[in-house]
Each structure stands twice: as structure tokens, then as C-alpha cells.
């Protein structure tokens, strides 16, 4: 039995993304929905999977591993690690995730590369960029991005797919678009600089700025609350 609330919110989220793509004049399959399931129980992920959702984002390694153990039977599920990544947590991420969005320094990339099991496909990687430097401490700066990209491209167990950002909140849509546009331009520059790299991903757009992100070329939008409901903020 699936929860009608979850079903409704997933349908609404899909419609919202479809509308945003149509408004941007982009193909219906130009961006996908990443369901951010942090703090939510494994049962909710199972229900979303039953409703056709395949890609899930998690922020906390230990919590994610527990849920993954309960959900090993779900075929085709794709796990994205999107939270801050400390060097001492890289092994678990290298062994248990398909994607990492939050690589922002060479040391972490190097460890993920060394720790990615041979039996698995290379780890899909996005570099997290600090697009609004006042607000956030995570993310590589635009100035250091090309150097980090070059280093990651030399690591055979990682596949550099693109860029991710968490912009500071902005009230009006025009303001929202500025950092997103800069992220898009940074990806375009990397594509020119490294034409053979599989750089096809812009991980940007959350509940508050999905439409702006889709206008600026997002290919993977990360929705948590809009799909699974509010999180218990006393916990995180």
C-alpha cells in the first residue's frame, strides 16, 4: 500500500518539473528528479520506488547505509551522496553509492578514486561549486575549479559528470538566476577545456528555485520536502 500523500506529492513534483521544462523550451527528458530522502525512513523510499522514482539523494553516510541495507531488493535504484563529505567517510561512499555531488577538493577525490571497488562501475562525480561565497563554506571556488576538474579527470575510478551548487536563498527569481547562470557558464567552460570529458550534468534546483534552475539548464533537480514532506528540524 502506498501512502496517497506521497503519491500526490510525487505526481505534483513531476508535473512541476515538466511544466518548468516546457516553459524553458527544453525537452521533457532534459532534467530528472532526484528525490532527497535524508532523515526519511526506508519505507518511504520503498514507496517512492514503487511509484517509479529511481534516483535518491542522501546526506548522512551512516543513515544512508542503514536504509540501503533494508532496500537491497529494489532493482534499479540509484544512490546519490549529496551531503558534505569528510575524508574519513569516503570509503563508505565509494563502496555504497553510484554518484557523489559534493566533491570539492582533491584529497577527497583521490580517496574516492583509490577506494572505489574494482567490481563496481566508476563513481559518477559532480564537483560542488561555491556560487555564493558569503553564505557557504563548502564548494570549490570558481578560480580553483578547472584545476580540480583536471585532477579528477585523471582519476580512472571516477567519472566527472558535472557541477553541483547550493546557492544562498534569494527572494526574487532574477536574483536566483545569477548564481545558477554562473554555474552553467562554468560547466560550458569546462566542456570547452575538456571536450572528451562526459560533462553532461548540472545538479541545481531545489524546492525554492526549481524553475530558475531549469531555465538555466539544470539536468538534475534535488527535491526533498516537496516529495517527502517537512523534515523534523530539531534533528537536523
Ligand X SMILES: *Cc1c(COP(=O)(O)O)cnc(C)c1O
Stretch that binds ligand X, among 2-10, 135-143, 176-184, 216-224 (CB under 6 A): 216-224
Q: Residue 80, interface with ligand X (CB under 6 A)?
A: no
Phi-psi region of 205 (alpha: psi -120 to 50; beta: other; left: phi over 0): left
Q: Residue 225, interface with ligand X (CB under 6 A)?
A: yes
* Interface characters, 26-45, with ligand X (x: CB under 6 A): ----------x-x-------
| # residues near ligand X by CB under 6 A | 13
Q: Report in angstroms the alpha-carbon separations of 212 from 77, 137, 167, 209.
A: 28, 23, 12, 5
Q: CA-to-CA distance for 179 and 197, rounded, in angstroms? A: 23
Cell numbers for 108, please give them.
577527497
Q: Residue 226, interface with ligand X (CB under 6 A)?
A: yes
CB of 151 to ligand X, least distance (A): 23
- Contacts made by residues 115-118, CB under 8 angstroms, sequence distance 24+: 115/90, 115/91, 116/157, 116/158
Q: Which is nearer to ligand X, 38 or 116 (CB)?
A: 38
Q: CA-to-CA distance for 48 and 151, rounded, in angstroms? A: 36
Q: Which is nearer to ligand X, 126 or 158 (CB)?
A: 126
Stretch that binds ligand X, among 42-50, 109-117, 177-185, 222-230 (CB under 6 A): 222-230
Residue nearest ligand X (C-beta atom)? 224
SS3 call for 208: coil
Please give the residues from 54 up to 73 whose contact with ligand X meets the rule CB under 6 A. Answer: 59
Q: Which is nearer to ligand X, 153 or 227 (CB)?
A: 227
Please give the residues from 109 up to 168 whose contact with ligand X meets the rule CB under 6 A. Answer: 166
Q: Residue 12, interface with ligand X (CB under 6 A)?
A: no
Q: What is the binding site for ligand X (CB under 6 A)?
A: 36, 38, 59, 82-83, 166, 206-207, 222-226
Amino acid at each position: 500500500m502506498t501512502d496517497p500523500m506521497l503519491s500526490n506529492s510525487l505526481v505534483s513534483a513531476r508535473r512541476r518539473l515538466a511544466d518548468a521544462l516546457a516553459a524553458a523550451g527544453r525537452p521533457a527528458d532534459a532534467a530528472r528528479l532526484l528525490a532527497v530522502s535524508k532523515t526519511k525512513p526506508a519505507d518511504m523510499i520503498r514507496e517512492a520506488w514503487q511509484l517509479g522514482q529511481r534516483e535518491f539523494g542522501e546526506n548522512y553516510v551512516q543513515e544512508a547505509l542503514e536504509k540501503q541495507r533494508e532496500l537491497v531488493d529494489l532493482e534499479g535504484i540509484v544512490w546519490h551522496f549529496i551531503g558534505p563529505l569528510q575524508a574519513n567517510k569516503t570509503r563508505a561512499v565509494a563502496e555504497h553509492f553510484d554518484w557523489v555531488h559534493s566533491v570539492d577538493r582533491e584529497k577527497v577525490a583521490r580517496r574516492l578514486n583509490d577506494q572505489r571497488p574494482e567490481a563496481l562501475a566508476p563513481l559518477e562525480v559532480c564537483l560542488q561549486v561555491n556560487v555564493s561565497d558569503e553564505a557557504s563554506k563548502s564548494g570549490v571556488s570558481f578560480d580553483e575549479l578547472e584545476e580540480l576538474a583536471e585532477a579528477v579527470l585523471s582519476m580512472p575510478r571516477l567519472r566527472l559528470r558535472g557541477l553541483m551548487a547550493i546557492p544562498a536563498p534569494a527572494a526574487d527569481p532574477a536574483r536566483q538566476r545569477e548564481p545558477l547562470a554562473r554555474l552553467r557558464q562554468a560547466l560550458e567552460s569546462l566542456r570547452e577545456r575538456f571536450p572528451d570529458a562526459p560533462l553532461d550534468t548540472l545538479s541545481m534546483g531545489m524546492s525554492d528555485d526549481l524553475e530558475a534552475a531549469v531555465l538555466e539548464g539544470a539536468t538534475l533537480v534535488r527535491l526533498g520536502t516537496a516529495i517527502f514532506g517537512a523534515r523534523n528540524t530539531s534533528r537536523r
